[in-house]
Chain A
């Protein structure tokens, strides 16, 4: 066989396999953990709403107790572009700090390790975190350049390193942004944990996670860190070519819960995305609930707040029927 034939046959095999995979109906999801998961959808039409009251309402609905705990807030601070809404809004972070302090947390810190940009504080300035969040610099840690320690057996790796600030937290709160994503379909509370992987060890971007598999890494991070809570900023989300170049999409909600799989599945339904078609959620089905009948919706119903997010051509087939 000459090189040309080899390449044509090899290419045809790849295309055939790809097409076969795309056309195949995904198998039914497993039942997941015992019991149901509560997810609160709380309306917040703008960032000038009383976000503290809205968050307190959602947290109460989810029965979260943070008294005496060291809480780490993990926003989604990626890049800055004044023409769109890439990052968790600063007012959501400021409200979360106040809420967790008011609820009796022993300590409230903020930590983030952006995947592309190395000047984290400059990004935080652009996103108005320093201007909006009281005592920001005192409670913020750049997770890309924090001290690290290894954990064993992460995603098939015998050792994987995480920031000590993350390892020391009793509760990690994923303060994610509701966005579409050009690799994962959507980026919500679970994928937000990419930002806890330290750039000092894994680089900018954290390319190791791509080689472990994006979906596999999302699930592995959420398997490794189980003491978590999610507050997704969907007041204004991002549709289209997210997570950086999409356009603002007001959804007018905060979505909260202790089961991050269920929170992400709920966010997807709010965005008009079928969560059962997202690879990472299918892979995470043993960690939490994806299926609607296993999620107890509190606050608003999905139907009351659903607003279809525009999807790029690559992901048109994710649209929820």
Chain B
């Protein structure tokens, strides 16, 4: 069961690796860390993949900057949120060397800019145009910007996975803070959007894909605490047409003990490398467990 669905996507991934070892968002395009990371997770442990995964890892390693962060692609010079994905990959590969330590240090140093003293003061005086709880520390897409759900989730996954090899009170603290940040950013309709539930006193709607991601970041929280969000995620999975959202929601629900229905065997493969990788990961026979953190750090 599941061979056609899984094989067609794995084949796309195998055939679209770039000569430099990475994957683009689409076949034949520049290599980026994000699709490369998902492709590597999807192919991990599959027959005859070892050499291609080693080449991919070598490329990713070449994108690490002296401050520990990783560039999102070969053309871009600055380190970003993808640092978390590189650390997750390192954990999956069983690497816990000083390079990983530098990345962890970088992640622990980076804090969403809305947590600054100025912003917290503005929040105290109700001067912000958003109803935002700025008391918790999440992670931004780029250092110096505000924190958002998706980069916070990826960083939480990385920190929880690396935690036992990096015992640190600061790490524990940031994981608790990151989870609290996600919980306070929940939209009034039950799920999550990018991370801004209200602007100018108008509630904003949640999105299915970010709701799935938020639940991945909240692995290990009690089922009772997440009953509402899980119900929202189930509803989104039943209703959404977005393949990306379905992929994230499926992975998230698996982490919370559920077994969502598999996609039809003949579901068409698009040319979207990242999507194919996430669909492969979320399949019952896929590698979704590689993103599992087993709970809190």
Contacts and interface: CB of A to CB of B under 8 A. Distances in A.
A161 interface: yes
A119 B29 contact: no
Interface string A132-173: 000000000010011111100000000101000000000000
Contacts of A146: 29
B38 interface: no
Given A182-B199, A200-B34, A122 B241 contact: yes
Given A7-B121, A148-B73, A203 B145 contact: yes
A207 interface: yes
B142 A202 contact: yes
Interface string B47-77: 0000000000000000000000000110111
B106 interface: no
Given A200-B32, A207-B141, A207-B146, A118 B75 contact: no
Contacts of A18: 127
Nearest to A314: B200
B151 A200 contact: no
Contacts of A118: 209, 244
Interface residues of A, number: 41
Given A14-B127, A245-B202, A116 B148 contact: no
Interface residues of B, number: 47
Interface string A92-123: 00000000000000000000000011110110
Contacts of B252: none
A30 interface: no
Nearest to A159: B77
Contacts of A11: 121, 124-125, 127
A5 B76 CA distance: 46
A148 B26 contact: no
B71 to A, nearest CB: 10
B194 interface: yes
A200 B245 contact: no
Given A7-B121, A150-B75, A314-B200, A207 B145 contact: yes
Given A119-B242, A145-B26, A161-B76, A203 B142 contact: yes
B243 interface: yes
Given A203-B150, A210-B145, 20 more contacts: A7-B121, A15-B125, A15-B127, A116-B193, A118-B209, A118-B244, A119-B209, A122-B245, A126-B241, A145-B32, A146-B29, A148-B76, A150-B77, A183-B129, A205-B148, A207-B145, A207-B146, A208-B141, A210-B146, A245-B202
27 contacts: A11-B124, A117-B207, A119-B209, A119-B242, A122-B244, A125-B241, A145-B25, A146-B29, A147-B24, A147-B30, A150-B76, A150-B77, A182-B202, A201-B72, A201-B73, A203-B80, A203-B142, A203-B151, A204-B141, A204-B194, A205-B148, A205-B194, A207-B141, A208-B141, A208-B142, A208-B145, A210-B146
Closest 3 CB pairs of A and B: A203-B141, A145-B25, A122-B242
Interface of A: 7, 10-11, 14-15, 18, 81, 116-119, 121-122, 125-126, 142, 145-150, 159, 161, 182-183, 200-205, 207-208, 210-211, 241, 244-245, 312, 314
